Chains A and B, each alone.
Chain A
Amino acid sequence: DGGITQSPKYLFRKEGQNVTLSCEQNLNHDAMYWYRQDPGQGLRLIYYSQIVNDFQKGDIAEGYSVSREKKESFPLTVTSAQKNPTAFYLCASSKDRGNTDTQYFGPGTRLTVL
């Protein structure tokens, strides 16, 4: 089946630890995105990538890092520098870069910092 997968579905982390969230897509989409969603708030953009080996910061990139070594994969690392990492993390992709194509979302990862 074509789609976007994220793993794990639930993740628990101790304070001070880095953790990496996986996002994979087999849709052959050029662009990929990471958002976080907090209760009562809209999705906020962390990072996005329009092409392999290139990515840009979104509105709330501090404390996060990404890589885009393969077209299919866009992992997000939540570092210990992120002050309030507990949130619902959503990965998305869209077919073309630099235009307004529809975004499709993965099922998300719920990160809880203990």
Chain B
Amino acid sequence: RKEVEQDPGPFNVPEGATVAFNCTYSNSASQSFFWYRQDCRKEPKLLMSVYSSGNEDGRFTAQLNRASQYISLLIRDSKLSDSATYLCVVSSLTGNQFYFGTGTSLTVIP
């Protein structure tokens, strides 16, 4: 079983739509959780950390459900510039390794 699993998509949504991605992780002892954004042929860049209480940054909301072992990312009022691949990242038990999902592809259509 993979450490982290994501729906690869693609998700094609119109501008202004709300879209949500989920990511499941296998190790219940995982410590930290992140969402990264990766544009085509570029390096991943941190979008936001995911906290137990949930957190919001503008149009982006991240949530963690430890009981069901998944994290989610909600994007409201999608912009063309949101088109990218979104990577779910989970830390190891010891905290010194990070496990990456394969990414979910999002295309926002005019």
Contact = CB atoms under 8 A, between A and B. Distances in A.
Q: Do A and B come from one complex?
A: yes
Interface in B11-39: 31-32, 34
A104 B89 CA distance: 13
A46 to B, nearest CB: 12
Contacts, number: 52
A90 B41 CA distance: 11
A62 B32 CA distance: 28
Chain A contact-residue range equals 20 to 34
Interface of A: 31, 33, 35, 40-45, 48, 50, 58, 88, 90, 97-100, 102-108, 110
10 contacts: A33-B98, A42-B103, A45-B97, A58-B97, A90-B43, A99-B95, A102-B46, A103-B46, A105-B44, A110-B41
Interface of B: 4, 8, 31-32, 34, 41-46, 49, 87, 89, 91, 94-103
